[in-house]
Structure 1
């Protein structure tokens, strides 16, 4: 397979969409998935017309198999798989909801794992798999224990998955954003703050770089991990947080 190809789950907005744009600009053939019909329609209007935009729920094995079938038919195979689909449901022990808990793990852990499993026949030898985890998996974020746990569970799998796929030179790495200005971040903050802009400004002031990440900050790291420049990197996590979490 001569052309570089990429499938980005959760690619219709935020970090996923920014990554799709960067990879497309670098000559990749790109497919993205999104769960909500409105985000899929918006992405189709915003992304280049040759980007394949598919509606899929990562909790559904049938949807995942359909995505792989369409990507295989369109591209023939994949050199990059960016597992970026995810949900965040802030909750504490006092406010925990069983349905929300199950949804978070179904998308962020089970969905990621089985998307990778279903993609294996399409992945070329030497392909790159990148997983969005997040700084919350290894740092304390108030009200974030369930979302952090779901990402942390997949992070724990990465060294073993990297060794499992090493005979095919398929690299498996994680990228962990700090607070990033995305629609998902704003939605999560809205659930616990009446003034999202003020909350984001306050968070930015605590960051060593004095700002929140933009989706492009994360996307450029993903593009690096997808490239030949990262051909000898596997089983690793890269934090892209502007230094957040470094202070004791």
Structure 2
């Protein structure tokens, strides 16, 4: 049995997230169904992480096991014939048998696209926070204080199964992109809702003209119910990449 890594791109609007759900579509569920239609009953499909309902992906990775005769390219093309238009396999590669899509990852990257105004054309693929007036300069200043290792309990959803809330942010760039504000975020790991709460909270602090000390206070208090902690909408978030040791994978840019 050989192990492979696949990469998928998807529009997350119709999905309940990555993981198989009792009701509703999931990315993992649609992929497993596609494998079964190809005669692969138990691929052991394991993702690099979970995404929430409505979140998109440019590059979400998963490993699977396969002992058939198709080449990686043939597998990619065959799977895509069984998938709907909102989910696409963009690459398949052979990997070592001990490779794990989640635990072998060194870093993960996300993009968040924030609209200054909500329109009928941008509402499905960008985030918008009503009544928020923010400045790019203050967002950038606040962001500098999140770089490095911190306890992100305050900026994530509580999960008793995850005792360690220390994450190391290596990148948090915020800049004008087309007519949007774009956040590029990379860390060794992310907690549940962490990216959306980082974005929402930075925008909220900027709106109230609050500085870095207030952000540091939020981190120190480790209280997810703080009034200044806001979760940005899911539809502006894109999983943009995962970095693995000894694997050179081409990145998928935003269209």
- How high is the TM-score relative to the length of structure 2? 0.26
Higher helix share: 1
Relative contact order, CA 8 A, sep 6+: which one is greater?
Answer: 2
- How high is the TM-score relative to the length of structure 1? 0.27
Higher strand share: 2
